[in-house]
Amino acid sequence: MIRRLQAVALDCADPVRLAEFYAELLGGKVVVDPEDPDWVEVRGFEGTPLAFQRVRDYRPPQWPGQQAPQQVHLDFDVDDIEADEKRVLELGATVLERTDQLHPEANWRVYADPAGHPFCLCLH
């Protein structure tokens, strides 16, 4: 039996930069192992740690196309989607889809982190 999820790892070109984005977003801290600078983690927040690994010739996913599929995305519960959208955009995210504008009953919006990985803010 598996005890727990150890981490969620995302491929990227610059693991430190992407870890800094998520550390700021989640209130965590960036942890870099000097012996393996191509693997960086964000710890110290509630939930499973995030890890970022450097990949040569990294190609960001395309939303919603499938030429470079998303492969993984993260969902974050929020209490104030307007305030948290402003915050993620200030940190370097971009809007991929304002789902609530297309479907008024939708309670989520889709963004890309600085490396292009899709993630959603979900109104809790």
Tell me the pLDDT of the chain averaged across its residues.
Answer: 90
Q: How confident is the model at residue 91 (pLDDT cuts 50, 70, 90)?
A: very high
**pLDDT value at position 2?**
54
> Residue 21 — pLDDT band, cuts 50, 70, 90?
very high
Architecture of the structural domain at 60-124: Roll (3.10)
- State yes or no: pLDDT of 26 exceeds 70: yes
pLDDT at 103: 78
Q: The domain 1-58 is classified under which CATH number: 3.10.180.10, 3.40.190.10, 3.40.640.10, 3.20.20.70? A: 3.10.180.10
Of the given ranges (7-11, 37-41, 60-64, 85-89), which has the lowest mean pLDDT?
60-64
* Residues 97/51, Cβ–Cβ less than 8 Å: no
The predicted-structure confidence for 51-81, as pLDDT tens digits, reads as follows: 999 999 998 888 887 887 767 888 898 999 9
Domain residue ranges in the chain:
1-58, 60-124
Provide long-range contacts, Cβ within 8 A and 24+ apart, for 101-107.
107/81
CB-based contact 87:80 (threshold 8 Å): no
Residues near 25 by beta carbon (within 8 Å), at least 6 away in sequence: 76, 87, 88, 91
Q: How far apart are CA 84 and CA 1, in angstroms?
A: 37
pTM of the complete model: 0.81
What percentage of residues in the chain have a pLDDT greater than 90? 63
Structure tokens at 88: 């993620």
**Is the pLDDT at 3 greater than 90, yes or no?**
no
Which pLDDT value is given to residue 17? Answer: 97
